[in-house]
A and B are shown apart, each in its own frame.
Chain A
Amino acid sequence: MNLKKGRPVAFLLLFMAFVLSSKGQESFNKISVSAGLAGSTLKDRVISTYIYKKKSIPVTSEYSYKGYKSFLGVRLYFLKSKLKTDENNGFSYSGDLGTFIPDKVNGFTQSQVNFLMFQTRAYYLARIHFDDRFSLGLGGFGQYDIINKKFLVLDYENNLNERFFSVGPQIMPVYISGQHEFQYALSASVFNIGSRKLTPEEGTGTKVSGASFFKKYFGVESRLTYSYSFTQNIGIDINYIFYYYQYKKPRKEQMVIQNLTLGLAIMF
């Protein structure tokens, strides 16, 4: 990496690489930016018992380090989507007596949930080598989620803002062969600090929060990554990420997000 030619961000990345004291031929830093397609499925009983779905475009960026003794990384994930259900098609707040509430309020319908998710995840894994190509990472992760939902109750907009911090174990087998790399990461939350705050357009809101082991919150992520390096410094990533979480207060919510992304990676 030539500092004179490098972009400003390279200073930071080189510093990180230096701090990490990488060893061996397979040690390298990597930064990637990916986008693709995400299929989201939401069942949040604070909103209703309906299932809301939508395909949208996620954006993710990640810094990772693969050292001889360890793996670590930080990932940012962003998803914005207008989830919809068809389970209440045909329902209307009107009848023989007239229309009481319009079908659309500020462009919003009773079938819609506006969803936004911003996720930050960091992991650190010890690396165990099985042979020249196959190794296994064992460690843990910490994750912070910002999730905002907006939906209608009668003609009032409701904001449901969720904040989750969770930690748990992660296992990550990695297979590297020349320009090809397969990586699979499975992680599940064990401990969580979470809050959900519902704020209607008018009047009193509701907030629930607390810390728990498994009881209130549970999240699991399964991630498969195939990387191909064109050169020592540039490559592509193809990711399939399956993410599920549930939170039980004040009413149970469940969400599945399946992502298929393609990204550009820079190694140094």
Chain B
Amino acid sequence: MKLIRIKYIYTFLLLVILFSACDKALIEPNNSSSPEKNFEIFWNDINNTYPFFSYDHVDWQTTYNANRSLVNASTSDDELFEIFKNMLRPLLDGHISLKKPNGETWANERHYQYYSNFSFSLVRTKYLNNKVNFVTAPDYSDKTKTDTIIRYGFINSNILYFNVGTFLTNLPIRDTLRNIVNRNPQLIGVIMDMRSNGGGILSSAQKLASYFTGTNQLYGYIKNKTGPLDNNFSESYGLYTQGDALGSLGTKPVAILTNRYDFSATEHFVMATRDLPNVTTIGDTTGGAFSPIIQRTLPNGIQYTVVSSITTDKQNNVFEKTGLAPEIYKELTNLDFLAGKDPLVDAAINKIKQ
């Protein structure tokens, strides 16, 4: 060993040490502070799973570049929440929301500029003569509470007014409607008032829709984001109404009232029924949030919802941002309200009587 010159050993050891240290020089370590970590997780998750960047014309990498420098070890969770809001705002999917651990929530404000065109008290007093039946069920999230799911009554005794407040319930809405219709053979038509129904359980909406379609009917497609790159999607799966072969409404005219506050499962109901020849949609465009919601929780407790699939109609049209436009556009103005008129209900009555 003594024959080996010391300088060679030194040289070799130096090379080992030099390259051992190269690890961090070549792959820059990520910052590990809590705010930065939460930011990276938030950005990465949406980067890999959000399906609508091309529809939204949003470059998420540019969003990263613009916002990453705003986050450092001293960024508070409230500040981070505001940064997340700004990052999400250009993504117009209706299911996007943020929630702080203290319960404070944020959803995209784009819907707030629209009127709901809906006053149930107006319908109750002016069209139903204050004769309203309520169908309640245990609250879906809190079983100790009760939630009103359905409100119904009769206009001129031969038109059923049927308001579905939510699909977030285990109540069999379709069976309830079928029982009412079966008990009232004098009915000439049905007004399905879906205004301000924020959605809920998809199968509940698909079952209700089957009462109008009669059978299991294809009404759209859904494809899921399955990989991190922009074009990584599953095959398209058919969306069907869920019939039970126990009878349908048949060909009686139906008016479906919609507004900008209809979301998710409610929009599936409208999409599944709007093309039927006996169905007319009246009111305003729906909210535009079709794809199933997926909720996440960050290490700092901030929760957020972002979709990871694309829902289309049978013709592969995407309505995720735009919503479904009604066949007859009507709005309820303040003057209408003061005059005791609901132009949407009036249009529905006229359509059914035609």
The answer to whether A and B belong to the same complex is: yes
Q: Which residues of A contact B (CB under 8 A)?
A: 39, 41, 43, 46-51, 87-98, 100-101, 133-134, 153-154, 156, 158, 175, 177-178, 180, 182, 184, 198-206, 222, 224, 226, 240, 242, 244, 250, 254-256, 258
Q: Known contacts being A198-B227, A202-B226, A205-B232, is A154 close to B20, with CB within 8 Å?
A: no
B29 within 8 A of A: yes
The reply to whether B12 and A182 contact each other, CB–CB distance below 8 Å, is yes
The reply to whether B303 and A224 contact each other, CB–CB distance below 8 Å, is no
B22 within 8 A of A: yes
The reply to whether A240 and B16 contact each other, CB–CB distance below 8 Å, is yes
B42 → chain A closest CB, angstroms: 9
The reply to whether B234 and A203 contact each other, CB–CB distance below 8 Å, is yes
The reply to whether B15 and A184 contact each other, CB–CB distance below 8 Å, is yes
Q: Which of B43, B223, B294 contacts A100 (CB 8 A)?
A: B294
Q: Known contacts being A50-B44, A256-B26, is A92 close to B232, with CB within 8 Å?
A: no
A43 → chain B closest CB, angstroms: 5
Q: Which residue of A lies closest to B103 (CB)?
A: A96
- Main secondary structure on chain B at its contact with chain A? mixed
B131 within 8 A of A: no
> Which residues of the other chain, A, contact B298 by a CB distance below 8 angstroms?
90-91
> Which residues of the other chain, B, contact A90 by a CB distance below 8 angstroms?
298-300
If A154-B308, A204-B231, A205-B227 are given as contacts, then 4 extra A-B residue pairs at C-beta distance below 8 Å, sorted by A number, are A50-B30, A91-B41, A156-B224, A203-B233
Q: Which residues of B contact A (CB under 8 A)?
A: 1, 3-4, 8-9, 11-12, 15-16, 19-20, 22-23, 26-27, 29-30, 32, 37, 40-41, 43-45, 47-49, 99, 223-229, 231-235, 293-300, 303, 305, 308
The reply to whether A180 and B4 contact each other, CB–CB distance below 8 Å, is yes
A242 → chain B closest CB, angstroms: 4
The reply to whether A203 and B30 contact each other, CB–CB distance below 8 Å, is no
The reply to whether B40 and A206 contact each other, CB–CB distance below 8 Å, is no
Q: Which residue of A lies closest to B32 (CB)?
A: A87
Number of A-B contacts (CB under 8 A): 158
> Which residues of the other chain, A, contact B15 by a CB distance below 8 angstroms?
184, 222, 224
A-B contact pairs, 30 of them (CB 8 A): A48-B228, A49-B40, A51-B27, A51-B30, A87-B32, A87-B40, A90-B299, A90-B300, A91-B298, A93-B294, A93-B295, A94-B295, A95-B295, A97-B305, A98-B295, A134-B8, A153-B225, A154-B225, A154-B308, A156-B226, A177-B3, A177-B4, A182-B4, A200-B226, A204-B231, A205-B227, A222-B15, A224-B16, A258-B19, A258-B23
Q: Known contacts being A154-B225, A250-B229, A256-B22, is A184 close to B12, with CB within 8 Å?
A: yes
The reply to whether A93 and B40 contact each other, CB–CB distance below 8 Å, is no
- A97–B49 Cα distance when bound, in Å, is 19
The reply to whether A204 and B232 contact each other, CB–CB distance below 8 Å, is yes
> Which residues of the other chain, B, contact A100 by a CB distance below 8 angstroms?
294-296
